[in-house]
Amino acid sequence: MRVILADDSVLIRPGIVKVLTDGGFEVVAAVEDAEQLLRAVEEHKPDCVVVDVRMPPTHTDEGIRAALTIRRLYPQTAVMVLSQYVEERYANDLISEGSGSIGYLLKDRIARVRDFLDAMRVVVSGGSAFDPEVVAQFRVRRNTDPQDRLSAREHDVAALMAEGRSNNAIAEALRISPSAVEKFLSNIFTKLDIPSTNGTNRRVQAVLKYLRR
């Protein structure tokens, strides 16, 4: 799978390239700002971009804006956004486009190499992978929402699904049986009004609906 990396830090860029390469990804370009990223995407049409949020020139949310542009121009390209801090507001921007193939993780997570590569694969195959920290921030917002209809356990399951975990991984994390997970999932789909005939990935639809305010 062909990947483009955008990160302005010369200290980390080679490390991420190595992690991705060792994990079986082909890094076709590694650039240092959003402008170069957009040009490289146009040139290489990669399967996935990995992009840092804070990049030159203003070091605020360049990566988010670049990610949104890529979503709009190249909907087939998966986007993995990395950042030293995750913010619910940025995640909200990312899911506003309403499609899967999106990840938003703390940069620290790359150090857990295998977990990071798993998340990359989830995102490239159309799923979503949101950092537990950002999911927790969404839950704060949900707590305040009187419209919220999910039970506490359903929240736990939905949160883990948003992190990109498989049913088995969710079952393991919550110490419940896989069939119990299935039951919670079907409750979540019903409560969030995800139609069963929907051709696109129901999990992705549920995650986006769960996270969106």
Query: Which window, 39-47, 112-120, 156-164, 177-185, contacts another protein (CB under 8 A)?
Result: 112-120
3-state secondary structure of 174: helix
Instruction: Scan residues 44-73 and list those touching another protein (CB under 8 A).
Output: 54, 59-61
Return the residue matching tokens 């356990």.
153
**By the rule CB under 8 A, 106 interacts with another protein:** yes
Q: Closer to another protein by CB, 47 or 88: give it.
A: 88
**Window contacting another protein (CB under 8 A); options: 24-32, 39-47, 102-110, 122-130:** 102-110
Considering only residues 124 through 143, tell me which ones interact with another protein, judged by CB under 8 A. 133, 136-137, 139-141, 143
Task: Give CA–CA dist 32/30, Å, rounded.
Answer: 7
Which one among 1, 28, 68, 113 touches another protein, defined by CB under 8 A?
113
Q: In the structure encoding, which two tokens stand for residue 98, read together?
A: 């309403």
26 or 148: whose CB is closer to another protein? 148
Measured from the CB atom, is 16 or 120 closer to another protein? 16
Q: Is 98 exposed, middle or buried (0-12, 13-18, 19+ CB in 10 A)?
A: exposed
Amino acid at 37: L
Distance CA 81, CA 52 (A): 6
- The H or E element spanning position 48 is strand 48-52
CA distances from residue 1 to 4, 47, 113 in whole angstroms, order as listed: 10, 6, 17
**H/E stretch holding 210:** helix 202-211
Residue 150 or 194: which CB sits closer to another protein?
Answer: 150
What SS3 string covers 62-77? HHHHHHHHHHHHCCCC
Draw the binding track, 9-48, toward another protein (x: CB under 8 A; -: no contact). Answer: x-xx--xx-xx--x--------------------------
Binding site for another protein (CB under 8 A): 9, 11-12, 15-16, 18-19, 22, 54, 59-61, 84-85, 87-90, 106-108, 110-114, 133, 136-137, 139-141, 143-144
